Chains A and B, each alone.
Chain A
Amino acid sequence: MKTVNQSLEALNDFLKENSITGTLTYRSEISHLVRCGRSQISLNVSEEGEKIFIELQKGKKKISSSSTFSLEKIAEIKEQITALYEKIEFMPEVEHLTPLKPIHEGDTDKHVADKKISNIDSNIMIDLFKAIDHEFTNDDVEISGAFSAGEYSYCVINSLVDKCLSYQGTDFNIEVVLQLLKHDKKELRSASVGENLSQFNQAEIVKELRTLFDIKTTTTREDVEPGEYDVVFSAHAFAELTNYMGYLTFHGEAYQYQMSMLNKETQKVGSKIFGENITIVDDPSDSDILFGRPVGINGISRSIFPLIKNGVLSNMFYSDKDTCDRFSLEVNNDANVSSIKVETGIGPSSFDEMIKSCTKPTIFIPYIHYMNFTNPAKGEFTGTSRFGTFLVNEGKIQSHLYNVRLNDSYMDLFNNIEWLSSQSAHINTSDTYGMRMASSITCPKFVKINKVKITGTSAPGRG
């Protein structure tokens, strides 16, 4: 990163020499991905990319651009800056635009890149799928999945400071799905995420798949009627619910534009919006989370940031200067690099304990597929369960259900939590759109929620 920092600082000096006000952001990635399909390797790819993002401001005018970056292209980038600055004259003035502010200055650079991930040998990734194939040789399963690993970095500077802020990190995320060809094409899944290769545990993945396989092959298919059910969500399913709920609750920009599920007139920071057993925090210094990034891509310094404290809304992320200018607010964080944690409770933490605890009819949902908002203003959503939905009763798994469709609201769900596990898990929440950027949510291993609305199932004719 040192060379990149120096180059960006040289470009920043060029801005200053030419009395140009602006921000320069560098982003890079090295990504490797091995994909398995039909029990063999279907993709083995890698990519490298470096980009520079230029944002210029002149009085009440602004303009931006991006291009591929390399250290050899510094002269070319200077020409781009000059051309862009000339073009800013054509931009109309934006009344609410406030002057650029300095980015954070100080020794907050943090680099946690594991070079074993950056330069991973694809044979390590392929070996995982070989091991799974070996384990299930006689079980008539189709193996699919992806093992993604890589390095990413960002570096930001603006014309009001002299030094860059930067971050470099690595991550891997793995998901493996088995389709049981002799068992009604039931599916099961194991997934894991980490920031250094020592957190990758091949044996544990194979063991989890075997456990799930044994459960799936000894339970019969059943269907449930639509209605309200008590549901235990796995960490994966609950992280997905939290992630989507977060879009509609924690993003101050959405709140200001009245696109969140909170009513601007009646629900503000300080309002109790969820049940008392819910506490959510973003703390980059927490050793219990993954990807703690002390600086934002927007150049802000990050520290502990409570979001929900015992059901009360404590903060919202304001990451975007333009929105803040429009509503006379200050940028207070960068949601793009947050790693939120849902605090644990006192509920069961192992799968066996969780099953034993369900003495009344309860549905277990390990994963939510294709969630989407049906009415964001009310926090209403839909999505289906996937990879093994169980009906649990009298402390035992009673049957393997068809995937169920949920139609409910985050407001209801986060107000109806019966218990949260006493132990937590890290769940990958990064999408792979655009440049690599690791993301995860740390949340309880299981969460039980009462009165969840099930409106249909994937049983033939029940959509």
Chain B
Amino acid sequence: MKTLFNSTLELLKENGAEYADIRFHKSDLTESISTLNTDINEYAFHDRSGLGIRVLYNGAWGFHSTENHSAESVKNCAEKALEKAKSSSTFMKEKIQLAPKEKYIETYNTPINTDPFTIPTKEKIDFLIELDKKLSHERFDYWGVNVTFYKREIFYMDSEGSEITKNLLEIDASFFASAQDVDQQKQSRNFILFQEKEGTVGWDNLLSEKQFLQTERIKNELLAVLDAPECKEEICDVILLPEMMALQTHETIGHALELDRILGYELSYAGGSHVDLEHFNELQFGTSKLNAWADGTLKCSPGSYGFDDDGVKAVSVQLIENGKLRNAITSRQMIVEANKKANKEIFKASGAACRAQSYSNFPIERMNNINVDFGNDGSIEELIKSCKNGIILESPKSWSIGSNRENFHFATEIGWKVIDGKISHVVRNPTYRGDSLKFWNSLERVGDESTWQVQQVFNCGKGQPNQVMRLGHGVPVCLFKDIQIGN
């Protein structure tokens, strides 16, 4: 295929393309197993393969994809992509330019101990059924385990000489239990597999009591929710545990700082951003305790992929430094455009965050690992101790965010009321809301390293056609002052 791709790129250049790349998913495997009430609910194996060709002609993009790997089909695919770029170039006010990058001929492999695809199917199913059994309880109506293994071999080649092979593996695993509460309303507790700072990605994660085998905790929490009082409406301190911190970071830092969104490319669909180009190095996004990164180099996360789909090597970019807005989630195209629009150099290099869901999609700015640094305000216990009147919140139940990411309203599965530094009781149906900037500027305490973990996200949607992206959030437990809850 390499020879075929090389000649295709040459042909595109001969026909006037300024730049072109080919992304070939040689194999793209998904194995899903789910259980429900101790039965196997689904076992499915999906196998796909295909390639996408992106062409820049006269400052405009064209893209076409195909699942047919024949030489004729690849040539046809390239011609269609070029034809589209030519059409696009008839309505361009500013020609697209790509920021410089280095040429790479490299391979990136996700670090794994045990490849789940090497574990016999029966062993995997037996393990998950046993885990499922542990979730049952006489008060629960449904419970189950969902695990999906993803394995991709991707070959990337571009007209600037890069040849990159990526062997990526991810595990999306979760379990849940649900029951009717005292008012006959459905309540659920979900647990999603996270990563430890020094873990690996592989089957071994599912066997770890630290990471996945937390069925007793989840069961007890659900039982507590079922008979708990409703969360009352008030303004109080909010302590966000890692799953909620990940959502908060994702929706109000991550999406708000995608540079294509800031420039207005997502306006008709996902929305814009309250952040403008003049805000960089000026805006106090949060308190001085807030340090956030777009880190493509994190060891084990679905947001770590070695090289982005521009062929740029993964880097770690500080987005917010001591509360001050510094950088964005960027690609080669957008940094050139943003600097031009701002009439100054805000962005020095691509943050290697240009990614496509699959071979059939055009790559756009996507989060990699949007992380918040841990602080030195102690463990969870110490954070609780420091809280006079507050609530601890965990596990997203629903989320809705303003079109410019300027405000949000989140509901969570569980809350623990804190009074005078001690947990008083569990509450049902907790919600909280706020203005994004005001919220991050009420960040008062940031938990220490013991509270920091990498939450995996497998359902981030963006773009048209919509692309679902895999990524991560390394986050500590944090305390926010005077937040509206229960409304």
Cβ distance A89 to chain B, nearest Cβ, rounded Å: 9
A126 to B85, CA, bound (A): 11
Q: Residues of B within 8 Å of A, CB-based: how many? A: 84
Residues of A within 8 A of B80 (CB): 46
Residues of B within 8 A of A129 (CB): 91
Cβ distance B211 to chain A, nearest Cβ, rounded Å: 25
| Chain A CB within 8 A of B360 CB | yes
A377, B403: Cβ atoms closer than 8 Å:
no
B interface, CB within 8 angstroms of A: 39-50, 52, 60-68, 80, 83-85, 87-88, 90-94, 120-122, 125, 129, 141-142, 180, 184-186, 260, 263-269, 271-272, 337, 360-362, 397-404, 406-409, 411, 429, 431, 433-436, 438, 461, 464-466, 468, 487
| Chain B CB within 8 A of A357 CB | no
A424 to B453, CA, bound (A): 51
Most buried by A among B42, B62, B400, B433: B400
Q: What per-residue 1/0 map shows which CB atoms of A102-138 lie under 8 Å from chain B? A: 0000000000000000000111001001100100000
From A43, A322, A369, A374, give the contact of B411 (CB < 8 A): A374
Cβ distance B39 to chain A, nearest Cβ, rounded Å: 5
Residues of B within 8 A of A126 (CB): 87-88, 90-91
Known A-B contacts A372-B400, A432-B464, A463-B408; the reply to A48 vs B46 at CB < 8 A is: no
B402, A463: Cβ atoms closer than 8 Å:
yes
B398, A384: Cβ atoms closer than 8 Å:
no
Residues of A within 8 A of B468 (CB): 433
| Chain B CB within 8 A of A258 CB | yes
From A146, A185, A372, give the contact of B269 (CB < 8 A): A146
A47, B64: Cβ atoms closer than 8 Å:
yes
B271, A369: Cβ atoms closer than 8 Å:
yes
> Lowest 10 CB-CB distances: which A-B pairs, in order?
A463-B407, A377-B185, A37-B265, A463-B435, A432-B465, A177-B268, A41-B88, A45-B63, A144-B267, A432-B466
From B39, B60, B186, B402, give the contact of A259 (CB < 8 A): B186
From A51, A63, A403, give the contact of B402 (CB < 8 A): A403
Known A-B contacts A42-B61, A258-B141, A376-B186; the reply to A84 vs B45 at CB < 8 A is: yes
Residues of A within 8 A of B141 (CB): 257-258
A148 to B269, CA, bound (A): 13
| Chain B CB within 8 A of A329 CB | no
A44, B400: Cβ atoms closer than 8 Å:
no
Which B residue's beta carbon lies closest to that of A145?
B268
Which A residue's beta carbon lies closest to that of B184?
A263
Which B residue's beta carbon lies closest to that of A259?
B186
B403, A384: Cβ atoms closer than 8 Å:
yes
B64, A46: Cβ atoms closer than 8 Å:
yes
Known A-B contacts A90-B121, A369-B402; the reply to A433 vs B461 at CB < 8 A is: yes
From B121, B361, B397, B433, give the contact of A87 (CB < 8 A): B121
Chain A stretch 370-428: residues in CB contact (< 8 A) with chain B: 370-378, 382-384, 386, 403, 405, 407
From B88, B268, B465, give the contact of A31 (CB < 8 A): B465
Residues of B within 8 A of A382 (CB): 398, 400, 409
Known A-B contacts A67-B47, A142-B264, A374-B397; the reply to A403 vs B403 at CB < 8 A is: yes
A372, B47: Cβ atoms closer than 8 Å:
no
Q: What per-residue 1/0 map shows which CB atoms of A38-79 lie under 8 Å from chain B? A: 111111111111110000000000111111101000000000
Residues of A within 8 A of B42 (CB): 64
Q: What size tier do the contact residues of chain A reach?
A: 35 or more
Known A-B contacts A179-B264, A263-B184; the reply to A66 vs B397 at CB < 8 A is: no
Known A-B contacts A47-B360, A148-B465, A382-B400; the reply to A68 vs B129 at CB < 8 A is: no
Q: List 11 A-B contacts (CB under 8 A).
A: A34-B88, A37-B264, A44-B61, A44-B63, A62-B43, A146-B464, A369-B402, A372-B398, A374-B431, A375-B411, A384-B407
Cβ distance A269 to chain B, nearest Cβ, rounded Å: 19
From B41, B186, B263, give the contact of A322 (CB < 8 A): B41
| Chain B CB within 8 A of A304 CB | no
Cβ distance A125 to chain B, nearest Cβ, rounded Å: 9
A68 to B272, CA, bound (A): 36
B44, A175: Cβ atoms closer than 8 Å:
no
Known A-B contacts A67-B47, A145-B268; the reply to A463 vs B436 at CB < 8 A is: yes
Cβ distance B445 to chain A, nearest Cβ, rounded Å: 22
Cβ distance A328 to chain B, nearest Cβ, rounded Å: 15
Known A-B contacts A33-B465, A42-B265, A144-B264; the reply to A407 vs B409 at CB < 8 A is: yes
| Chain B CB within 8 A of A96 CB | yes
Cβ distance A268 to chain B, nearest Cβ, rounded Å: 15
A65 to B33, CA, bound (A): 11
A123, B398: Cβ atoms closer than 8 Å:
no
| Chain B CB within 8 A of A303 CB | no
B46, A67: Cβ atoms closer than 8 Å:
yes
B465, A37: Cβ atoms closer than 8 Å:
no
When A and B form their complex, what is the total count of cross-chain residue pairs whose Cβ atoms lie within 8 Å? Answer: 241
B91, A40: Cβ atoms closer than 8 Å:
yes
From A39, A66, A405, give the contact of B93 (CB < 8 A): A39
A21 to B362, CA, bound (A): 39
Which A residue's beta carbon lies closest to that of B404?
A458
Which A residue's beta carbon lies closest to that of B269?
A146
Which A residue's beta carbon lies closest to that of B183?
A377
Cβ distance A39 to chain B, nearest Cβ, rounded Å: 6
Chain A stretch 341-390: residues in CB contact (< 8 A) with chain B: 369-378, 382-384, 386
Chain A stretch 144-199: residues in CB contact (< 8 A) with chain B: 144-146, 148, 175-177, 179, 185, 187, 189
Residues of B within 8 A of A51 (CB): 48
Cβ distance A23 to chain B, nearest Cβ, rounded Å: 13
Cβ distance B100 to chain A, nearest Cβ, rounded Å: 21
Known pairs A45-B62, A47-B65; list 20 more (Cβ under 8 Å).
A38-B263, A44-B63, A44-B84, A46-B64, A91-B43, A92-B40, A122-B88, A187-B403, A258-B180, A369-B402, A370-B271, A370-B403, A372-B398, A382-B398, A386-B271, A405-B433, A432-B465, A433-B468, A455-B487, A463-B433
Known A-B contacts A35-B464, A175-B268, A378-B185; the reply to A40 vs B93 at CB < 8 A is: yes
A91 to B401, CA, bound (A): 42
Residues of A within 8 A of B47 (CB): 65-68
B67, A91: Cβ atoms closer than 8 Å:
no
B435, A46: Cβ atoms closer than 8 Å:
no
A90, B122: Cβ atoms closer than 8 Å:
yes
Known A-B contacts A41-B60, A91-B125, A94-B39; the reply to A70 vs B67 at CB < 8 A is: yes
Residues of B within 8 A of A462 (CB): 407, 435
Residues of A within 8 A of B88 (CB): 34, 41, 44, 122, 126
Residues of A within 8 A of B267 (CB): 37, 142, 144, 177, 179, 187
B50, A68: Cβ atoms closer than 8 Å:
yes
Residues of A within 8 A of B402 (CB): 369-370, 384, 403, 405, 458, 463
A374, B186: Cβ atoms closer than 8 Å:
no
Residues of B within 8 A of A369 (CB): 271, 402-403
Residues of B within 8 A of A214 (CB): none
A463, B406: Cβ atoms closer than 8 Å:
yes
B64, A38: Cβ atoms closer than 8 Å:
no
Residues of A within 8 A of B84 (CB): 44-46, 122
Residues of A within 8 A of B466 (CB): 431-433
Cβ distance A278 to chain B, nearest Cβ, rounded Å: 24
B43, A66: Cβ atoms closer than 8 Å:
no
